[in-house]
Amino acid sequence: MDYAPTSATRRAASTKIVVAGGFGVGKTTLVGSVSEIVPLRTEALVTNESEGVDDLDAVPTKATTTVAMDFGRLTLAEDLVLYLFGTPGQRRFWFMWDDLCLGAIGAIVLVDTNRLDDSFSPLDYFESKGLPFIVAVNEFDGTQRYSLEEVANALALPPHVPIISVDARDRASVKQALVRVTEYALERLIQPLSVNAN
């Protein structure tokens, strides 16, 4: 007698994606816009104590900051759950990135074209770790728009790294970014297997 697992007996699979980027780039907003649960946020008020430590000039209206992580969940299928982890943006909290990236299949590096310099360290981090990542240019209101090719050139991205536009406030836009990073992670996983098969 053949036994076929039913939805009730199949073990649910899970996968993990990390959302990274500079301070105030929209990571918390991105996780919150797509999470099906109330996202876990570890935010603290920005106080005068951070003067001289965090560069607040580019985001003067930002009142809170992530001090550990953002966490959200999205059910992709009956037996497949995606977990999202947003990293803290300030350098003094980057020691947590290694733990947050454990077990991740890929990462989204969120970019603000007004502050491209803040993107280089996250890009270097994921390149050094060998974790597949895509670059998502967050479409802030009132900012000058550049072509994706211009942004890729400014960031000196390798040609194989995908770059897309995203609106971190828009659920559909964020879902597209999650699909793209998942596709790219699978491409990177399959690549060595196809080379070895030849």
Q: Tell me how far apart the alpha carbons of residues 177 and 164 are, in angstroms, rounded to a whole number.
A: 8
Report the predicted TM-score, pTM, of the whole model to 2 decimal places.
0.78
- Judge whether 30 lies within some domain: yes
Q: Is the pLDDT of residue 114 over 80?
A: yes
- Total domains, the chain: 1
Q: Residue 98: give the domain boundaries.
A: 13-197
pLDDT over threshold 90, residue 38: no
In a domain, 4, yes or no: no
pLDDT at 30: 94
Mean pLDDT over residues 47-62, rounded?
A: 51
Residue in 37, 48, 44 with CA at minimum distance from that of residue 65: 44
Instruction: Please tell me the predicted confidence (pLDDT) of residue 178.
Output: 94
Whether residue 1 is contained in a domain is answered as no
Residue 67's pLDDT is what?
45
Here the CATH number for the domain that contains residue 50 is: 3.40.50.300
For residues 195 and 73, which has the higher predicted lDDT (pLDDT)?
73
Place of tokens 């080379």: 195
